[in-house]
Amino acid sequence: MITGFETADIRFPTSLSLDGSDAMNPDPDYSAAYVWMTTDAGDSGHSFVFTIGRGNDVQVAAIEALRERFVGRDADELLGDMGAVWRDLVHDSQLRWLGPEKGVMHMAIGAVVNALWDLKAKRAGLPLWELLASMSPEELVGLADFRYLSDALTRDEALEILRAAEPGRAARREQLLSDGYPAYATSPGWLGYDDEKLARLCREAVDDGFELIKLKVGGSVDDDVRRLKIAREVVGDDVRIAVDANQRWDVGEAIEWMRALEPYDLAWIEEPTNPDDVLGHAAIARGVSMPVATGEHMANRVMFKQFLQAEALQVLQIDATRVAGVNENLAILLLAAKFGVPVCPHAGGVGLCEAVQHLSMFDFVAVSGSIDGRVIEFVDHLHEHFVTPVEVRDGRYLAPTAPGAGTEMTTRG
């Protein structure tokens, strides 16, 4: 039985060092709206929503509003039908009015769903990616919700995708355990850093084995060109460089700006404009020569569906705490597989690396079956606050082996 439901408002003063500074977020204070549920069996499940400071209290209040849905409930029953848990919360008509399926309330649902996944994985004695990759295609489609998706992906099509990936599961699991999963480095490129620090961090990233680095852009074209020249000179031609505008531009502005950066052989332009703008991203994708990447601020699977239908993104960036948890990210992974688009998760922040690595590894083993063109963001920051911090070596995430979802913190605020 679930006997405890606790929350904490955890904030780190990251704005002091300009870590995480970009064109839209000049001074984030990386924060977590943290939740953990305890049971009468003495175990617990932990998760959180990542925010960047102000409003973290509102996010905590939204999670608290879900307390009554869990305390006193039979944990085995909840964990035995995680699809039903998800649908009961997301389709609750009164809560749904607050979105629908977006913003603070939707992320709160994601946090409690993910806390249960942490508990379920711990009880199974498996890291989350292995737990998910041990489930049958039928069990997995039962977790996803195809409501509003059927014009792009039906339950039967999802089942086919998962069945097609079954034969290779064991071999890919072994490959993950021996080689890990490719990471890319964002640490060098925050806008608040000066050129000297940029160059030094680029060099360190290459020395650390990263094959892709990402720079923030969108302050001024001249600054972007200068910083890209520095980065390209330091990393050489074999390391890929992506850029991230963090929603800075209008549609026309994005196309014009990115044409000025075309000479620098960019891996992708990330978040060129507002994350709700399906048609805008489609226009940008048609107007520039590099792939368009987005997703970290995309509210739900219905938005991802449209971005794929409209060919508005070529790199799909899931986030572990933006949508309603593992179940919704599973639906998004299935959509990406259907459309043949690589998933390169957003991470960094507080615990996003710890959380999202499980989804990419599960995707490789049991959904897309591919690691080609895929890479998980990595920022070497705040990992010490997690019980099982990520391990990144030679530019690759090592497959976690500890039971759970990686989302348990060492601090409770």
CB-side neighbour CA atoms (13 Å) of 309 = 13
Instruction: State the residue for tokens 């391990």.
Output: 391
Let me know if 106 is a catalytic residue. no
24 scored as a contact of a second copy (CB under 8 A): yes
Containing 116, the helix (H) or strand (E) segment is helix 103-124
Residue tagged 């000179």 (tokens): 233
The verdict on 337 binding a second copy (CB under 8 A) reads no
Q: Which is nearer to a second copy, 160 or 250 (CB)?
A: 250
Q: Which of 17, 136, 150, 289 binds a second copy (CB under 8 A)?
A: 150
Stretch near a second copy under the rule CB under 8 A, chosen from 106-114, 174-182, 223-231, 372-380: 106-114
- Give yes or no for residue 381 binding a second copy (CB under 8 A): no
Edge-to-edge strands of the sheet including 2-11? 2-11, 31-39, 44-51
Tokens of 276: 């709700």
Nearest to 212 by CA among 177, 244, 174: 244
The interface with a second copy within residues 46-75 (CB under 8 A) comprises 51-55, 57-59, 61-62, 65
d(CA 326, CA 105): 16
The answer to whether 164 contacts a second copy (rule: CB under 8 A) is no
Q: Which stretch binds a second copy (CB under 8 A): 249-257, 323-331, 338-346, 377-385?
A: 249-257
Q: Which of 78, 115, 278, 399 binds a second copy (CB under 8 A)?
A: 278
Residue position matching structure tokens 């617990």: 44
Pick left, alpha or beta for residue 359 (phi over 0 → left; psi -120 to 50 → alpha; otherwise beta): alpha
Q: Which of 216, 338, 358, 381 is catalytic?
A: 216
What angle do the packed helices 325-339 and 155-165 form, to 10 degrees? Answer: 80
281 among known catalytic residues: no
Give the count of residues interacting with a second copy (CB under 8 A): 62
- Residue 16 binds to a second copy (criterion: CB under 8 A): no
Identify the residue among 106, 172, 214, 227 touching a second copy (CB under 8 A): 106
Closest CA to 399 of 123, 181, 132: 181
Point out the residues that are catalytic: 216, 346
Chain positions contacting a second copy, by CB under 8 A: 24-29, 51-55, 57-59, 61-62, 65, 92-108, 147-151, 247, 250-253, 273-280, 283, 297, 299-300, 302-303, 305-306, 309-310
